[in-house]
A = this chain, B = another copy of it.
Amino acid sequence: MADRLRADAKANQDLVLAAARRAFARDGGADASLREIAKEAGVGIGTLYRRFPTREDLVWAVYSGEVDRICEEAETSAPHPRAWMETFLDFLAAKRAMADALKVVLAGDEERRLAVRARITGALGSLLDTAAAEGAIRDDVAALDVLMALGGISLIAGEPDQRAQAGRLLDLLMDGLRPCR
């Protein structure tokens, strides 16, 4: 990329990211104040917004590493869809901000969102394919649909105290994926 950042810009970006990471760690990040994050980073609110135009951009910058790790897990570990889905839901429950970001990513059609989507559906798809090859689940359901189902579960029952409910919804989803008949 020829678009290298100016030194001061890069430094500020890092300060903001660090502050955001700290703020998000405090409470899942769903409602951390961006002004507060900017202040904590010692940067003007305008600077934060120029670098991360939307809350989702910031959330994504903070958590993309973890998402990658989860995706790799889906591609490399044994094909236990249910277990992986639980991990995924737990992740979204812990980082509530990500659940909202996911919703946007799943709806939008800008290059950026599509890439993220491709990353996740790719991993999930590979997991589903493997499981299907073993006859554990159906083979005719698109990974994107499953991902959206997971996103839906986390949106409607993603609070930490709704684990049981989320589990039941996941049961229902798994039932829908069963290769009966």
Contact = CB atoms under 8 A, between A and B. Distances in A.
Given A152-B153, A153-B152, A157-B152, A145 B168 contact: yes
**Residues of A contacting B: mostly:** helix
Oligomer: number of copies: 2
A77 to B, nearest CB: 24
B156 A151 contact: yes
A85 B126 CA distance: 31
A50 interface: no
A108 to B, nearest CB: 11
A97 to B, nearest CB: 16
A172 B169 contact: no
B156 A169 contact: no
- For chain A, the bracket of interface size reads 20 to 34
Interface in A77-113: 103, 106-107
29 contacts: A103-B155, A103-B156, A107-B157, A107-B159, A107-B162, A141-B172, A142-B168, A145-B168, A145-B169, A145-B172, A146-B172, A148-B156, A149-B152, A149-B156, A149-B169, A149-B172, A152-B152, A152-B155, A152-B157, A152-B169, A155-B155, A172-B177, A174-B176, A175-B176, A175-B177, A176-B176, A178-B180, A180-B180, A180-B181
